Structure formats: structure tokens, C-alpha cells
Structure 1
């Protein structure tokens, strides 16, 4: 781990600690889904409330991924439209399609995954033709019947894919006339109206567009934009006001989900902006450097594959354990310390087969450094978005 004197110059654009953030976010999602899949539906939540209070926030890894994508993609459009879309498609689609194929194959050939058994896996089956088509075109988040079918976490890949098109069509044009912080606050406000006011569009998670914009604003701050305190204060005050009104007007699962995901995303955007700015100015604390350590960087390196495929593997592990009739605490322990590690190992194998051939130049440089057993900042370490864990 490099000491304070080993920092790169402020001109360097690479931030190794972001891979650590991504890896931890992916791990949080896996731990959360491991708990969710433990036993029968809602059994772990009802019988293990203390553990649920600790790991139940793991779903907030998704808004962190979206903020990271906004941060890393803020300046990607400058390379040109053709290169931008080709890069995004090559990076996201092949592993996604491969994971979808594996998920469908598991359901088709593993009898345990074909019949409902009172577990959380029941929402993933039966597979329908409309759902398969929606997944292929990455629009499954448009319907509650499609969103969690086949492979639940994939809905967020669809959201991020759609945001990739909104970047040049909406976010960058608006950025020319609005301060980036106010743009993020405005989009967060606009995208929460339909789900809160009329209960429409919740499955699509439109507020994630605002969190992507928050990540863009964080990127500008990291690159040296001197935001005035009044701008920061106004944006945060506006977001806090909307969050507060939302929770009072409609205090249910819809507003609760928007509230928690938006709050986590805003906090993540602020933290990432501050860490990146401190890193550029050679004053990042030791904790930031630890996020760029070899184990955490490797976790971020394989996080997309882990995110894509962990869900059906965890579900299968739970179904295999159920006949043993274990007490729920022992069942959760087996899921967490046996099934989850095995699932992650399988996902890492999937990474080398289905994702590694499509990694970008920056990730190839990271891979070489990880193989060499060192992670010294290099000029080739340029930031680029690796969605998952998009996001």
C-alpha cells in the first residue's frame, strides 16, 4: 500500500479506491440476498430480526453502483457517440446475455428451480416468453411481472442501460443550462412524482436517473470545479425537503424505497466526490488508500459477474438446504458461510469465461498489476464505468 508520498499527481484521473467501493457494494448486495433467500419467504426476516437490521440494507448497493457510473461516465461522451455506445455495449451486453442464458439453463435443467416451494425464488418462476423478450431488450423494469422474473438483480442492469441513452439525450444538454448540483436535485424531484403521487413507475426506479446525475456532479467536483457553498447547500436542502415531504405524504413501501435509495445515493455521491478530490490533492486518508488495496480492487474487478449470477445460485443452495430441516439460524449460517462463498467462486469462474474477454484497457492494466502482486498507481489507470456491480 503506497504511503502519502506515493500519491500520483493531481492530473491523474484514475481512482483505485473506486474499485474497492464497487466491490464492497457488490458484497453488500450478495449478503442481503443470501439473507433474503434463507428458508421460506420472509422466514429469516421474521425470526432473525437483529441480523435483518444489520444486513437488510444491502440493497442500497444498487444506488451506489449508479452513482459510480455517473461519476465515471461524466466525460465519456467526449470520445464521440460511436465510441461511447460501442464501449458501453461491449462492456455490458456480452456478460449480461451470458448470465441470462445461464439463468434460463438452470431453470430449464434443474428440477428444484422449476417448481414453487414457498421461498423467495417463487417470484422468479415460471419463465414467460414476454419476460424473456423484455430481458433481451433490457426493458424488464417496465413491468412488475418481468422485473424480478428469471434473475431478480438484472432489473438494475436494464435501468443503467437506459440511463446510458439519457446521458447524451437529456443529462448533458440540461447540464449546459443548469448547475450540475441543481440538475441532480431537479431530476430527483421530477422522477419521484409519478411513483409517489400516483403509484406509477416504481418498478422502473426512475429516481436512479437523478443519482446518476449526482455522480456526474461528483465527477466535476473531483476534477476541480469550485462549487460555491450556496450551491451545495441549496441542492442538499432541496433534496432533504423532497425526501421529508415524500415520507410524510406517502409513508409506505414506495416512498420508503425512494427515500432510502436516494438518501444512500446522495451520501455516496458526496463521499466519492470528497475522496476523489482529496486523492487528487495528495491528502487522502489511510481509509481511502485501503479501499484501493489488492483484495478490494479484485472484488471490484469481478463484481459485475458476481452481481449478474449470484441470485439463482443462492436460491438453488437454499432449496438444497431446506430438506435438512435446520433451525433458521443454522440455515442462515450455512447460506452465509458455505453457499454464498461457493456461489461467489462460481461467479468468478463465470467472469473468466464470459466477462474477461470484454474488459477494457484500464481493467486489463489492473489485471496485470494484480497478477504481479502490486497495485502501484500508473498513468494507464484511467477511470471507466464497470456497472456491477453498472451500474
Structure 2
């Protein structure tokens, strides 16, 4: 859920996305955030008995079932965005300042959302203990609270989705930030592609060990150490999209950009179809989401590279769609943090009492009202919490310092791009 280096002022449309070159990042973030909200909105519908007789609701379920792919996009996007200022500066700067800036930018809004969620639970959700959402998020215990404070809740399956089901990925992303300086210096020394292979092998090996021995919550909403690979995919995409040196592989991709684009989209689509078919027909095997994430992340990173080189256009709609997506992307982090409890309140207090006759109609109304409520609260949260934290994080200048040990460990020769 990262944003590019320059903050935006929600109340002044003229300064939103000042750089046209990076508007597409906000559009992607906005689209992914909307998809996650729609997924959770459809899941709020309480289905009694067999719902096969409601094909339209089943279709809505199918179209919104790939929320994990949206999180994959967020992780790749985070790596891409964090790499952009480093490409401009050509040095990492103070590692300590980087950690401070990321903590202020991510953790403080997260704490704000945690507080808001607890307030909503205390005052508005006392009657929801029997709901599906409550079974996952409640009760709020001291254990779940302090583990959320330390952002280690995703390590423990008993509390990973407590309080607010969207919070698990915040802890994952924040912990990846601590490894980013190491990733960067390894890439400068050994090459970005070589480092990508190393990170992918190590991170997925660690996840495999965790999965086989069932330790440190290897589930889809768990520790997710394999996301290190997806994060670095974004880093590699940004690096090669903004460098002058070209390898044979990069030249081939540039020359056949349209074919590569179609292949990437087709790859994601075929993966989704295969996943659905396997689960629908109850085959004896399945494709773990963690494995699917690697391919989704790879295809997304390829698309980000092509877009960064202006080889393709991702904005397939007119300004009536892209402009709202940019705005949603600007406050996308706030939407992501708060949408889960907001959707539950909308369902429990508004949609469910309507007793609408069709499940699909309940889902549509929940999506519309949930988006309106989530967006409205996110605007307030962004203005008074997220945006001030963004500004505060910028007060810590990430300039070159004695902590920037890249000069000590990387010579000019080893700092060149290696494929």
C-alpha cells in the first residue's frame, strides 16, 4: 500500500498526482483497493442453505473471489514505488532515517485505524457477536491487542484476522521494509536479476518449511515471507524501466511489448480460471494461493515495467473512470485500513434489515453503500491522520550519511547493473 515519494493534498485537486508520469500508479492502487472492498462486501451476504439457485450471486462471488491477487498487486506496487526515489538519488541514504520514515508513514496511520476500529467495535458492534465477521474479528483480547500493536499478529493464526481482517498484510509489508536495505545493496553488488532469484528461492524455501511444519502461520493471511519475492519484483521492474543499459532480454521485451502485455494478462486470467476450476470440480489437488501469488506478481511486475517504459497503456477508460481511480488510489491506504469494520456496520445495520429478496441484490446494495461509507470515512481519516503522517515522514530527510555503507561494500564495478 505504498505511495510514491511525493505527498498529495486531498483538498486541492491541482496538486493531486502532480506528476503525470506516475498517475497510473494511483490508478492501479485505486482499482486494487476497490476490488478488495467489493470482495469483502460480497462476503457479507449471509447465505442460508444452497445458493446454487441464485446464479447472479454466484457470478458476483466468482468475479470478486480473487482478493488475494489484489494484495499481490499492492506488494509489487510497494516495491516499485520505493525503488523510484532511489533511482533518482542513486544512493540509499540513511538506513535509520528510512526505517523512521516508513514507520511514521505506515505504522502511525495503522495505529490510528486500529484505534478507530476498536472504537467502532466498542460502541457499534455489541450486537454482532453472532455474525460471520464477529467469528473472525471478535473477541478483542489483550493477546490480540498487544500482538497487533507490535505488528506480529500475522504470525499467529489465532489472532491474525482478529479486530480487523485487513491488518494482516500491514504487518507483512512493514517487516519487508526492514529487509529492503539489504535487498538493495545485494542488488547493487550482485545484480538485480541475480538477487531476485536469490530472494525468491530463499523466501519460498522458508515458506515451504513453515508450511510443512505448520509453524509461524504459513496460511494465506499469515507471515507470508514469500512476499519478499513479489516486493522485489516491483523493485526490479522499476529499476529496468528507468535505466539506460539494456540487456538482450530487455530489448526483446521492449520489441515485443504488445505480445508480452497480452501474455501477462492471459497468464493472470488462466491462473484464475485454473484455480476456480480446481476448486469447483473438487480435484484431489489444488494450487496454493502462495504459489499463485508468485505468478501473479511476476506478470504484474512485467506490466509495470512495460508501463514504466511507456510501451503500453493501462488506462483503458476515459477520464470519467481514471480520475476517480486516481482519487481512490490517493486515499487507498485509508480505504484499505478501515473498510472491513465499515462494511460490517453497513451490512448489519442497513442492508440486512432491508430483507431484500435476492442474494445478488443484497450484494449489490452492500457494495454500493459499503463503498460510499468506506470512501467517506477514508477521506476524513486521510485528511486528519494519514496525510499528516505522510508530511511528518518527509521531515526526516533520507540524505547520504555515514550510515550509507554502500560505498564501503560496493565498488563502481560491482555497482553496475548485472543480469
- Report the TM-score when normalising by structure 2: 0.71
1:180 aligns to 2:199 (yes or no): no
SS of 1:183's partner is: helix
Matching of residues 1-391 of structure 1 within 5 Å: 15-39=22-46, 48-74=57-83, 76=86, 78-112=92-126, 114-117=128-131, 119-168=132-181, 170-192=182-204, 193-200=208-215, 201-202=218-219, 203-224=222-243, 225-229=245-249, 255-278=287-310, 285=313, 287=315, 293-320=322-349, 321-326=351-356, 327-360=358-391
Deviations 1:93-128 (A, max 9, x none): 2211111001111111124465123x2342000111
How far 1:30 moved relative to its partner? 0.8
Deviation at 1:177, TM superposition (A): 4.5
How far is the alpha carbon of 1:344 from its aligned partner? 1.9
Post-superposition shift, 1:65?
1.0
Distance, in Å, in 1 between the alignment partners of 2:95 and 2:224 is: 26
Counterpart CA distance in 1 for 2:388 and 2:21 is: 22
Distance 1:329 1:290, change over 3 A: closer
Q: Is the 1:182–1:231 Cα contact (8 Å) retained in structure 2? A: no
User: Aligned in 2, Cα 1:53/1:79: closer, same or farther, shift over 3 Å?
Assistant: same
Deviations 1:57-87 (A, max 9, x none): 1331111111111112225462322331222
Moved more, 96-105 or 40-49: 40-49
Range with greater deviation from structure 2 (59-68 or 320-329): 320-329
Contact 1:305 1:347 in 2 (8 A): yes
Q: 1:123 to 1:210 in 2, by over 3 A?
A: same
The CA RMSD measured in Å over matched residues stands at 3.4
Q: Could you tell me which runs of 5 or more consecutive residues in structure 2 were left unpaired when the two chains were aligned.
A: 1-18, 254-262, 395-419
After superposition, the C-alpha distances for 1:246-271 in whole angstroms (9 at most, x for unaligned) are: x99x9767x52112222221111110
Cα distance between partner residues in 1 of 2:45 and 2:196: 37
Higher helix share: 1
State the aligned residue count: 334
Residues 1:232 and 1:174: Cα distance change in structure 2 (over 3 Å): farther
User: Would the aligned equivalents of 2:105 and 2:393 in 1 still touch at CA under 8 Å?
Assistant: no
